[in-house]
Structure 1
Amino acid sequence: ETKDPYPEIVQQIQPICYEQGVYFGSRSHILDVRPPLVITQAQAEHAANVIEAALRAALNN
């Protein structure tokens, strides 16, 4: 709501995503998501769902 950077959230969700097989880089408060050039819709949806669930879990704590 404040639009202030929140680097702690990235540190919280990265291990959760890694456990689910979703890997991304991070720079401070930025998620650096770079999907492969060849990806199925199911794989893209899985990655999006994992990131969303991790964000929701981190924000509820």
Structure 2
Amino acid sequence: MVRHLGGKELPKYSGGAFPEIFLQEIEAQWKNEKEWREMLSYVLLGTAAHWWAMHQESLLEWCE
């Protein structure tokens, strides 16, 4: 049985397919990484929105 993770086929090692315990660990790390990416994107969007709100007037004056 070939397992897929995030749309990608997992590689095989010399013993055949990955043992289930390795798959569980990989899936846990992938989920954790996805959550961190989502959280980071919210932080960056919030920072950009805050920065724009703080500097909007001076930026618009500079563009004129």
Instruction: State the TM-score, normalizing by the size of structure 1.
Output: 0.43
Higher RCO (CA < 8 A, seq sep 6+):
1
User: Which structure: greater helix fraction?
Assistant: 2
Instruction: State the TM-score, normalizing by the size of structure 2.
Output: 0.42
Larger radius of gyration: 2
